[in-house]
A and B are shown apart, each in its own frame.
Chain A
Amino acid sequence: MRVEYINPFVEATFSILKEVLNTKVERGELYLKPTSHPVLGVAAIVGLAGDVEGRVLFDMARETAISIASIMNGEELTEFDELGKATIAELANMITAQAVTKLHDLGFRFDLTPPALITGINMEVSSPNVEALIVPVTLPQGKLEINVAIRERA
């Protein structure tokens, strides 16, 4: 992934999570994964277009998703219902939007598609031919992985 794209995603993740959850956010070391990877239970995906093509995927366990959604809604959710899904989708949207704004400032034209939310057990999400940058995040509510796969438009 292009070096200049990395920081905007990392910073956006950090800043939105801190603002929205008002809690300690710990970032793990970034690393690269080859294409396919199993999903932890809940994934919010935001598509990217413009100078690049690709997607940002927010990957977490169901329990973590419920915890996060509960905090964001100011009430305890007991299951991952429509409200919970809408909440996590919105979180993904906010983080990606902030990253894209920073990238605009750096001169890169990116656009985002509305977020999609998928849930399930042992799902595989693969982007053919593109490796993914993983930003691991540890919250009191659990682990979250931001998975960014971007390819330059030749």
Chain B
Amino acid sequence: MIAKVDYQNVNDRKPDGLKTDGTPYRVLVVDDSMFVVKQIGQILTSEGFEIVGTAVDGSEALEKYKELHPNVDLVTMDITMPKVDGVTALEQILAFDKEARIIMISALGKQDLVKKALMIGAKNYIVKPLDRKKVLERVVQCLK
């Protein structure tokens, strides 16, 4: 899909990325693919979310989360990453902050890991290729 960035809302629907007080939700994007980071970034920022940090593997993810906490509202976590994978990072972040809201991003074929992640405490998951509508739906649901 073409992740076109649209900065204008054509109606007076509130952008998904804004909290009731008008400030943006703050997101930490974790993925080893520069392309996916960019895609997620584009989708979210077009709806007003703010990307406050990125990480390329699970250990960097934990580091960044600790640094940014409590100014992170959501983490998008890729499952397959080098060094420390997404499921392990999920566990570690939840150990640090049991209220952390983490949504898993996975390529098809990793169902077992996705299930495991959900059992451990991930809020939801999104499957690649990333569909703008699906991403926003799931993210919004996650933040409720």
Chain A residues proximal to chain B, CB less than 8 Å = 16, 19-20, 22, 69, 71-74, 82-83, 86-87, 89-90, 93-94, 97-98, 100-101, 104, 110, 112, 114
Contact = CB atoms under 8 A, between A and B. Distances in A.
A77 to B, nearest CB: 11
Interface in B13-41: 32-36, 38-39
A33 B2 CA distance: 34
A89 B36 CA distance: 10
Contact of B109 (A69, A72, A83, A112): A112
Contacts of B32: 114
Chain B: interface size category:
20 to 34
A38 B13 CA distance: 53
Given A16-B129, A20-B1, A74-B2, A93 B107 contact: yes
Given A74-B3, A100-B109, A20 B33 contact: no
Contacts, number: 63
Contact of B2 (A69, A71, A98): A71
B2 A104 contact: no
Contacts of A89: 33, 35
B108 A72 contact: no
A83 B34 contact: yes
